[in-house]
Amino acid sequence: MLSQSRFAGYLAMNTKAIPQRPRSTQSLLFVSLWDNCLRHIRLDMALDSLSPCWLAAIFTIFIASMTAAPKNTWKKGRAIGLGVISGVFLCEVILRIYNPVPPAVKNGKLVLPANQKKTFTNNWISKLDKQIHYSRNSLGFRGPELPFNPTAILSIITVGGSTTECKYLSDSCTWSSRLYEKLHKENPAVWLNNAGIDGHTTFGHLLLIKEYILNLKPRYLLLMTGVNDVELDQPDDFDRMAEKKIDTRSAKLLLKSLVNHTELGRSFMNYYQLKVAYKKGLIHRETDLASLVDNPLKEEVISAKLAKQSPYLIAYRQRIDSIITLCQRAGIQPILITQPALYGNYIDSATHISVGNKWMAKDPLGDNCLLMEKVLESYNDVLRSFSRKTSVIDLARLMPKNSIYFYDFTHVTNAGAGKMADLLYSELSLLIHPVNKK
């Protein structure tokens, strides 16, 4: 009966032991469609395991209907073919009138889900609240509405991916919200909004900053990034399709870009990206350290993996540099925040489990926590290297590595969000100019 909880139950049963895996090269610009995510991923999950059934069933019906009409088989086939084309056309017309799942990117522009307010039941991540209250304001961000005169107050916007958005934490529990509470207590003339979007990489952050944040001109922009950019050097085909251009580089890309010009095609693309997101482990699920197997890696494997990062790190540095330049030119002070995570080589004090060699049993060749820590740190080092150009808060080092603060390897629990807010508040107190604070 209860669709979401059943989905949750399904997830809990099937995915609890699978750790969150940092993504590699893929489209991350708009894999997050929060408002439609749950319903689609359920279908996606089902299709993952049994997609041939759809084809088999439809194919069987089609073949049987043809054999059932021994006379005029060709005529019947033509009639059905024409019907199929008409059905596709009918669907396109109806979706153009109203598409229940508006694409996250339309005509090359990000479409933020504004004015949302929903409460959903969480049955799949035991470390989080049962009832999650999630809202987005008229800007499409999480947090209070924009005040009448934003330039006169201390305005802050947090930008990042899922670790910033904290979509499985209620509005009042995200680290942005708790940070806002602390700042607001000290100075009522403060406004802080959370512009994090699950799945966004620095490509998405750049687009968001250009299209929305530069116009708002907040005084500070807190950028927490890293994990989504691992092994990402360029937006892929789907990211390019957001540019609404006809791609003539190959027949495949031409077809894809043409499909992207239809409402039906775009809806299928959204659906496909969610399928990709699910396959690549980008769906939030709880990590149970005890259920993970040890997978010690040889030094050569670690070195090879780290060496592989070089070109990605160069591209990542360029994107971060572009963001800083863009913000500074607009009079926005960017503050970079390194990405905290549960990866590393240590003994978790909550479970007394040695984490370093842990990784999922299904993937014996996968990276273990020690290697992941090293990889993520190389991206955090990029942010640290900008400390002369702008402020950097090294949250990755400040945040204690304890599984009570995380429900998977990168996403924080309520307690984790509270801890992050405390750490950021004390660091920001040093960074934010006293004049600004007042």
Partner 1 sequence: MLFNSFDFLFFFAIVFPLFYFLPGQYRKVLLFIASCVFYMWFIPYYILVLFVTILIDYFAAIRIEGRETKSRKKNMLLIGILNTCLVLFFFKYYNFFFESFNFLGLTKIPHWNIILPVGLSFHVFQSLSYVVEVYRGNIKAERNLLVYANYVMLFPQLVAGPIERAQHLLPQLRTCNHRISYQDILTGATRFFWGLFKKLVVADTLGVFVNNTYGSYAEQPGILLLLATIFFAIQIYCDFSGYSDMAIGVARMLGFRFNENFNLPYFATSITQFWRRWHISLSSWLRDYLYIPFGGNRHGKLAMYKNLMLTMLLGGLWHGASWNFIIWGGLHGIYLSIEKALGLPSLKLRNIFFRFTGWLITFSLVCFAWIFFRSPGLQQAGNIIKTIFSHFSLHDVFAIDKTELGPILNDIILLFLLEWFIIRKFSFDNIFEKKYGDTYLAAFSTFLILYIFLFGNNDNSQFIYFQF
SS3 198: coil
How far apart are the C-alpha atoms of 103 and 264, rounded to whole Å?
11
Pairing assessment for the beta strands 190-194 and 154-160 based on DSSP bridges: parallel
Does position 272 interact with partner 1 (CB under 8 A)? The reply is no
Dist CA 45 CA 219 (whole Å): 42
* C-beta separation of 199 from 208 below 8 A: no
Identify the residue among 24, 60, 234, 328 touching partner 1 (CB under 8 A): 60
Using rule CB under 8 A, residue 84 touches partner 1:
yes
Six token digits for residue 185: 């207590």
- How far the first Cα of the chain sits from its last, in Å, is 52
Minimum distance of partner 1 from residue 12's CB (angstroms): 13
What residues between 92 and 151 interact with partner 1 by CB under 8 A?
94, 98, 100-101, 113, 115-121
Least separation in angstroms between residue 404's CB and partner 1 is 28
Q: Does 10 bind partner 1 (CB under 8 A)?
A: yes
- The vertex-346 CA angle with 415 and 408, nearest 5°, equals 40
72: left (phi over 0), alpha (psi -120 to 50) or beta: left
- From 2-10, 207-215, 367-375, 408-416, give the range in contact with partner 1 by CB under 8 A: 2-10
Distance CA 36, CA 355 (A): 34
Question: Which contiguous run of DSSP H or E holds residue 84?
Answer: helix 73-97
What contacts 95, CB < 8 A, 6 or more positions away?
A: 263, 264, 267
Please state the closest distance from residue 81 (CB atom) to partner 1, in A.
8
In the list 12, 16, 17, 35, the residue contacting partner 1 (rule: CB under 8 A) is 35
* Binds partner 1 (CB under 8 A): choice among 108, 252, 268, 290: 268
Residue whose CB is less far from partner 1, 136 or 219 = 136
Please check whether residue 29 is in contact with residue 105, taking contact to mean a CB–CB distance below 8 angstroms: yes
Residue 76 found at the interface with partner 1 (CB under 8 A) = yes
Find, among 97, 146, 134, 136, the residue nearest to 113 by Cα: 136
Nearer to partner 1, 102 or 150 (CB): 102
The answer to whether 135 touches 34, Cβ cutoff 8 Å, is: no
Per CB under 8 A, does 434 bind partner 1? no
Q: Which is nearer to partner 1, 17 or 47 (CB)?
A: 47
User: Judged by CB under 8 A, does residue 50 bind partner 1?
Assistant: yes
Q: Give the amino acid at 118.
A: K
Rg for the chain, CA atoms, rounded: 23
Instruction: Please select the residue that binds partner 1; options are 57, 254, 350, 361, rule is CB under 8 A.
Output: 57
Regarding 315 and contact with partner 1 (CB under 8 A), the answer is: no
Q: Give the Cα separation of 389 and 368 in Å (integer).
A: 34
293 contacts partner 1 (rule: CB under 8 A): no
Selected range binding partner 1 among 5-13, 181-189, 294-302, 422-430, rule: CB under 8 A: 5-13
User: Residues touching partner 1: how many (CB under 8 A)?
Assistant: 56
Task: Closer to partner 1 by CB, 57 or 314: give it.
Answer: 57
Q: Does 79 sit near partner 1 (CB under 8 A)?
A: yes
- Rounded Cα distance, 345 and 295, in Å: 12
Q: How many CB atoms lie within 10 A of CB 377?
A: 20
| Residue 172 found at the interface with partner 1 (CB under 8 A) | no
Binding partner 1 by CB under 8 A: which of 65, 349, 387, 426? 65
Question: Given the rule CB under 8 A, which of 57-65, 142-150, 231-239, 415-423 is the region that contacts partner 1?
Answer: 57-65
Cβ pair 339, 224 in contact under 8 A = yes
Rule CB under 8 A: say whether 155 interacts with partner 1. Answer: no
Tell me which residues touch partner 1 (CB under 8 A). 1-4, 6-7, 10, 35, 39, 42-43, 46-47, 49-50, 53-54, 56-58, 60-61, 63-65, 67-69, 76, 79-84, 86-88, 90-91, 94, 98, 100-101, 113, 115-121, 264, 267-268, 271
